[in-house]
Structure 1
């Protein structure tokens, strides 16, 4: 597993800036399809909305896939590690309680990509919401229930 040998280095350059836009991705442990069930997927959406109510992030677009999520946000009044730790924890606690399971839900860490000002945010949002199409879950985005974008 040489690709994991230096995984800790990926976090060294992580930088959080309020007002910056980020594309965040978190993956379920062992890629288990825990969010295949709509009600379980809605727990992820509820966690995104809680982060917004708390003033930590403004959601621009998101999709909840069976085994991961993509979340395009504008960061507000917190740091990325805090936002993701709280969000992933909230989801794990509510999911475990809802389906009567125990144990970890998420793979360690998360992926983030800062979006440069010159990038087309709508194109990034389209990429996010088309994820279920690329995965073969639906033939058009409107057929998938667990996504949203402020432009659509």
Structure 2
């Protein structure tokens, strides 16, 4: 699981065009066989993603390329330049299936805990939503 925060906690995740850029980039990582995606949630000021790296991939390189590409696209959309993401990221390795299930539930219920949605499936930019659920590779769950 990776958590990535927007620089200075900017609320860039509230913009639907930015959300499409971020979700499109996650789909690109899937389509190019870099990750298998288990859960995600784009919050106004940060992003949570649970995924499995595919053979030959390194976590720092996948996160770096995702961050670089999405920053460039978000800056183009906003007609700005500069940093979009806070330096670094927080990661957590899942040891077993039960921990993965718990982390995915945590990720998908983040908007409910934050008071942004009544139920997880109401949050459009999450794997709990009807739109987001179609992006998952859960047949790959251990």
Which runs of 4 or more aligned residues in structure 1 lie more than 4 Å from their structure 2 counterparts after TM superposition? Answer: none
The Cα RMSD (Å) is 1.3
Structure 2 residue aligned with 1:108: 87
Q: Deviations over 1:71-94 (max 9, x none)?
A: 000011310110000001111011
1:143–1:112 distance in 2 versus 1, CA, 3 Å:
same
Q: CA deviation at 1:118?
A: 4.9
Gaps of 5+ in 2: 128-132
State the alpha-carbon separation in 1 of the partners of residues 114 and 105 from structure 2: 14
Q: TM-score, with normalisation over the residues of structure 2?
A: 0.85
Aligned length: 129
Structure with the bigger percentage of helix: 2
Structure 1 residue aligned with 2:58: 79
Gaps of 5+ in 1: 1-22
Does residue 135 of structure 1 match 2:135?
A: no
Structure 2 residue aligned with 1:42: 20
The structure with the larger Rg is: 1
Structure with the bigger percentage of strand: 1
